[in-house]
């Protein structure tokens, strides 16, 4: 039986972290449109450059392009038995496209899990997050033990300064997502979430698929609630 699950939530709600948990537990891959777009960073063509620019400014990529990227990913063999959608759909048009795609493939969403988080915490989670090469994550405002955070002037004197984070014991520098570096871009992304994506909550509620989880709880507590939803 297939397992198509959708994780919804504002930036910083922990979608990526929980998607990794679902992948480990249920053996289905994560389909993150943000990751798929970020992977285009190495391409030099005009189209890929435009996408990087829109992302850096906190704008959404257009629906047609986004759905095409998702279609290509869903056609891969490892997606046959299901995927966790992370960051897709983000607009009503994308949600309708996904419903049609899945019903044309004799499948459907098992659940839409909304990770609920207040927007102030969402901002701090996005602005303060850094990760190690092995995927371990830290945050300037929470979970910062053993990490030194320093704001350094931008190398070309531009605003904002760079947040540099280093693991004290090993000296390893932690990585910050380029689209998390600008407070303005994060605010833009949160505004876009409220305007474009929040209406989907009602859409999925009407379909009887929506399950809400308080995302300010610990990672383990959220994972365990997800498990009971998916096992029911
Ligand atoms: P994320 O990693 O999900 O926060 O996505 C990072 C950026 O990729 C977003 O701010 C958008 O610019 C773009 N993006 C990701 N998913 C979508 C989507 N479903 N629709 C449009 N743009 C998207």
pLDDT 10s digits, 126-185: 999 899 888 888 999 988 999 999 988 877 777 777 788 999 999 999 988 776 777 888
* Tokens coding 118: 């207040």
Distance 146 CA to ligand 1 centre (A): 31
CA distance 87 to 19: 11
Choose the residue to mutate in 9, 18, 40, 55 for probing ligand 1, maximizing ligand atoms within 8 Å of C-beta: 55
Q: Whose CA is nearest to atom 11 of ligand 1?
A: 60
Which residue segments constitute the domains of the chain, with CATH numbers given? 4-117+182-231 (3.40.50.300), 129-175 (no CATH)
Global pTM reads 0.83
pLDDT 10s digits, 93-125: 999 999 999 999 999 999 999 999 999 999 999
Choose the residue to mutate in 90, 195, 196 for probing ligand 1, maximizing ligand atoms within 8 Å of C-beta: 90
CA dist 88 to 93, 97, 137, 178, Å? 11, 11, 22, 20
Q: What is the DSSP letter of 197?
A: I
């Amino acid at each position: 039986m297939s397992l198509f699950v959708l994780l919804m939530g504002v930036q910083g709600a922990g979608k990526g972290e929980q998607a990794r948990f679902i992948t480990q537990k249920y053996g289905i891959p994560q389909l993150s449109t943000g990751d798929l777009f970020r992977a285009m960073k190495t391409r030099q063509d005009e189209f890929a450059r435009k996408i990087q620019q829109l992302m850096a400014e906190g704008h959404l990529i257009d629906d047609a392009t986004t759905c095409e990227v998702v279609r290509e990913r869903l056609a891969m063999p490892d997606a046959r038995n299901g995927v966790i959608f992370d960051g897709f759909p983000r607009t009503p048009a994308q949600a309708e496209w996904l419903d049609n795609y899945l019903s044309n493939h004799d499948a459907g969403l098992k659940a839409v899990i909304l990770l609920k988080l207040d927007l102030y915490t969402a901002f701090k989670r996005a602005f303060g997050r850094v990760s190690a090469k092995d995927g371990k994550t830290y945050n300037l405002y929470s979970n910062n033990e053993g990490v030194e955070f320093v704001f350094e002037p931008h190398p070309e004197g531009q605003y904002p300064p760079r947040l540099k984070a280093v693991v004290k014991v090993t000296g390893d520098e932690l990585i910050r997502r380029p689209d998390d570096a600008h407070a303005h871009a994060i605010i833009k992304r949160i505004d876009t979430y409220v305007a474009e994506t929040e209406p989907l909550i009602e859409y999925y509620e009407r379909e009887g698929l929506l399950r809400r989880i308080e995302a300010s709880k610990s990672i383990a507590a959220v994972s365990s609630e997800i498990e009971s939803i998916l096992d029911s």
